[in-house]
Amino acid sequence: MTRTALVTGSSRGIGQAIALAFAQGGYRVIVHGSKPSLKLDHTTTTVRSLSPESFSYPFNLADELAVTQACQLLLKKVGAIDVLVNNAAITRDQIFLRLTPAQWDTVIKTNLYGPFYVLKIVLPAMVKRRWGRIINLTSIAAKRGAYGKTNYAAAKAGLIALTQSLAYEVGRYGITVNAICPAWVKTDMSLSIPKKYRDQALSQVALQRMATPKEIADLASFLASDHSAYINGAVLDINGGLS
């Protein structure tokens, strides 16, 4: 039976790479973006060339009602979501002394409440089927902090805590919950940082380079598979040997 995977924030970057890897692995992939876009259409077309049953479904993760309605419709359409990858995230960077409540709330809503909203609808079907894979994309910022990213780091740290706690609750149902914790990944976001700052950061990485999105996707593919059945509640660093 073909398994279905929902990858949030999969129109570009790491999420796109995960969606493509899953499609190559035979999954029916639900490609997600916050709203319709050319990038979402492009990714969906590429994913469908590998997995014809795949499709896209945009919705706003920060809106509880929108998430609830979208996920309920998705479950009616596909029966069950076997693999959930909570990848979508946004930033509103600012030093804490200048950080506004709106900037705090916006990031927390999407990056932490978003996964919560999706899980509340998707998880019961996994429990009923006695199988599921939940993969949460976190960040090195959650463990070490990052300048100007208190809101982002707090949300990602919350996602780590959610991962570890939920793993205890649902492991008995054949569901694993794990987190991937990348550092520097070669995406549009990281490449927008001035080169001198990137070089300074990469000097602390043993491999002296960024990860590729595909390398993150390869780990996600493993965690989604039956080969990872005894890995649960793990927070897996993928940082090239960051000192």
- DSSP letters along 172-194, please? GGTEEEEEEEES-B-SHHHHTS-
- What pLDDT score does 243 carry? 67
Residue pair 165/158 in contact by the 8 Å Cβ criterion: no
Which of 190, 71, 83, 194 lies closest to 140, judged by CA? 190
Q: What is the tally of structural domains in the chain?
A: 1
* Catalytic sites, residue numbers: 152
pLDDT in tens, 54-64: 999 999 999 99
Give the CATH number of the domain where residue 122 resides: 3.40.50.720
Give the integer Cα–Cα distance in Å for 22 and 59.
Answer: 21
243 within domain boundaries: no
pLDDT of residue 164: 99
Residue 242 covered by a domain = no
Q: Residue 62 has what pLDDT?
A: 98
Q: Residue 235's pLDDT is what?
A: 98
72 inside domain? yes
Distance in angstroms (rounded) separating the CA atoms of residues 235 and 222: 14
Q: Give the neighbor-by-neighbor strand order of the sheet with 175-182.
A: 55-56, 28-31, 4-7, 83-86, 132-137, 175-182, 235-238
- Position 65 scores a pLDDT of 99
SS3 assignment, position 160: helix
For residue 144, give every residue at least 6 positions away whose Cβ sits within 8 Å of its Cβ, in sequence order, or none. Answer: none
Q: Per the domain annotation, does 16 fall within a domain?
A: yes
Please give the residue range of the domain that contains residue 208.
Answer: 4-237
**Tokens (6 digits) for 73:** 């419709």
Q: What pLDDT score does 236 carry?
A: 98
Residues of the chain with pLDDT under 70: 243
